[in-house]
Amino acid sequence: MENVEESGAPGVRVTGVLLAAGAGTRLGLGPKALLPYRGRPLVEMVAGKLLEGGCREVVVVLGAGAADVAAAADLDAFRVVANPGWQSGMGSSLLLGNNTADPKDHLLIALVDQPGLTRETVERLLAAHRPGRITAAAYRPKESPTGDQSELRRGHPLLIDASLREEVCATVAGDAGARGFLRRHPELVDEVDCSDQSTGEDVDTPEQLGLLR
The gap from C-alpha 20 to its chain's centroid, in whole angstroms, comes to 9
Question: CA 67 to CA 74: how far, in whole Å?
Answer: 12
CB 212, CB 27: distance < 8 Å: no
Kindly tell me if the per-residue pLDDT of 7 is higher than 60. Answer: no
Kindly tell me if the per-residue pLDDT of 10 is higher than 60. Answer: no
Instruction: Give tens-digit pLDDT for 42-56.
Output: 999 999 999 999 999
Instruction: Give tens-digit pLDDT for 123-179.
Output: 999 999 999 999 999 998 766 444 445 688 999 999 999 999 999 999 998 888 898
User: May I ask the CATH architecture of the domain 14-140+153-212?
Assistant: Alpha-Beta Complex (3.90)
Question: CA 24 to CA 29: how far, in whole Å?
Answer: 7
φ, ψ of residue 20 to 5 degrees: the values are -135, 35
Question: CA 178 to CA 162: how far, in whole Å?
Answer: 14
- How big is the CA angle at 92 (ends 58 and 115), to the nearest 5 degrees? 45
The percent of residues in the chain predicted with pLDDT above 70, rounded, is 87
The predicted pLDDT at position 202 comes to 79
Kindly tell me if the per-residue pLDDT of 4 is higher than 50. Answer: no
The predicted pLDDT at position 145 comes to 45
